[in-house]
């Protein structure tokens, strides 16, 4: 009769000691965990395998979407981290042959600026998948083609008017009236100006390898060709009247024109071969050539000489079309000069403090 209570007591003891044992085991486990956790935390995050790290860092996947519809056009895979936007355009052209690289404009965001060809994928990638937006830039032409077309047209057009082609002027009137000497001199100066342009484009200027839309070529040719036709028509007209002050006005203006042309050429040669000190480019400095001393006064002496040439040509011919063309060119070049002057101020502040942009002490 007394066995049952005893057994119950013994069972309670066993249960009690078993609970205490488990609690002691749990306490030991917690101690072990707390003693182990500083070691784990000091060791840092778990390292991924070398193979996985290499694949993420070395290759990217470029998703190209249409900037207007946001629809996917193609995916360019296996793009190296050192690849540039130009390389992506080349691969995009292989996937979509109708869009050649110069026609492709890629944006990181819709409505944002177009990425330059030299930008690397690694510099713009936030992850292994990069999304770019495509925009068709239209038909493109190289800058060399633009300059050659803009300068070849005026050279040939002026010669057509100078020769007094029958369907331009009246044949009888042209045969009766002889050309004034200033007409021949003006033709010589005009040809010298554009021949210099063409030669410098081919052999002096470092023209960008980039492209521009075809509409810029059309606008440039329309401006230069149109004004040349207007100027040449007046100067070579049989009823053209010479300048008011005669040969003195013509000779002084012609000499000044040739001086400005020579100065423009020497300045362009200096700009094409800038001085370098170490790794930092220096502002073009004057040399033994007196024509380069204009760098002491202005930051863009090529525009100064260019405007000087057209002012001299205006005084020499004394015609309204040349004056209007000179005025428009002066406005445009002053804007270009001020823009370049601001860039020079940021790069070469110590050299530019006392310089003007184009006209000494004025502009």
Q: Tell me the per-residue pLDDT of 46-61, one tens digit each, with 9 for 90 and over.
A: 443 333 333 344 678 8
The residue that leads in pLDDT, 69 or 2, is 69
In the chain, what are the domains? 59-138 (3.10.20.90), 139-241 (no CATH), 242-362 (no CATH)
* Tokens read off for 295: 């760098």
What pLDDT, on the 0 to 100 scale, is given for residue 41? 39
Give dist(CA 276, CA 158) in Å, integer.
41
8-29 mean pLDDT: 44
* 177-to-162, 164, 357 alpha-carbon distances in Å: 13, 12, 46
What pLDDT, on the 0 to 100 scale, is given for residue 234? 93
* Beta-strand pair 59-66/129-136: parallel
Vertex 62: Cα angle to 59 and 68 (nearest 5): 170
* Tokens read off for 278: 């170490």
Tell me the CB-side half-sphere exposure of residue 66, using CA atoms within 13 A.
8
The residue that leads in pLDDT, 362 or 224, is 224
CB-based contact 221:215 (threshold 8 Å): no
Give dist(CA 284, CA 273) in Å, integer.
9
Q: Say if residue 29's pLDDT is above 60.
A: no
Q: Tell me the per-residue pLDDT of 277-301, one tens digit each, with 9 for 90 and over.
A: 444 456 777 888 999 988 888 888 9
Q: Tell me the per-residue pLDDT of 33-91, one tens digit each, with 9 for 90 and over.
A: 444 444 433 444 444 333 333 334 467 888 888 888 888 888 888 888 788 888 888 88
208-234 mean pLDDT: 90
């Amino acid at each position: 009769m007394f066995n049952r209570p005893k057994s119950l007591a013994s069972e309670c003891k066993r249960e009690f000691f078993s609970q205490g044992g488990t609690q002691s085991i749990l306490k030991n486990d917690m101690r072990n965990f707390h003693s182990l956790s500083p070691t784990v935390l000091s060791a840092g995050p778990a390292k991924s395998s070398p193979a996985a790290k290499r694949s993420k860092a070395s290759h990217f996947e470029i998703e190209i979407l249409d900037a207007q519809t946001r629809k996917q056009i193609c995916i360019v895979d296996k793009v190296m981290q050192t690849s540039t936007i130009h390389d992506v355009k080349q691969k995009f052209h292989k996937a979509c042959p109708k869009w050649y690289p110069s026609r492709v404009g890629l944006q990181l965001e819709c409505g944002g600026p177009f990425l330059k060809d030299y930008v690397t994928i690694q510099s713009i990638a936030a992850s292994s998948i990069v999304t770019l937006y495509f925009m068709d830039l239209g038909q493109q032409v190289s800058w060399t083609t633009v300059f050659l077309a803009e300068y070849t047209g005026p050279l040939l057009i002026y010669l057509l008017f100078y020769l007094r082609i029958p369907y331009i002027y009246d044949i009888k009137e042209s045969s009766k009236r002889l050309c004034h000497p200033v007409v021949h001199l003006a033709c010589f100066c005009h040809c010298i100006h554009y021949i210099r342009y063409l030669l410098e484009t081919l052999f002096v200027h470092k023209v960008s390898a980039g492209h521009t839309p075809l509409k810029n070529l059309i606008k440039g040719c329309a401006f230069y060709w149109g004004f040349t036709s207007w100027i040449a028509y007046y100067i070579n007209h049989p009823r053209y009247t010479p300048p008011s002050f005669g040969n003195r006005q013509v000779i002084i203006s012609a000499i000044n024109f040739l001086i400005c042309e020579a100065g423009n050429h020497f300045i362009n040669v200096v700009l094409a071969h800038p001085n370098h000190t170490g790794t930092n480019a220096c502002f073009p400095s004057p040399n033994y050539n007196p024509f380069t001393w204009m760098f002491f006064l202005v930051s863009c002496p090529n525009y100064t000489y260019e405007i000087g040439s057209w002012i001299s040509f205006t005084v020499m011919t004394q015609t309204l079309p040349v004056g209007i063309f000179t005025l428009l060119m002066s406005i445009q070049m002053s804007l270009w000069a001020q823009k370049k002057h601001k860039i020079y101020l940021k790069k070469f502040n110590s050299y530019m403090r006392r310089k003007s942009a184009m006209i000494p002490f004025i502009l």
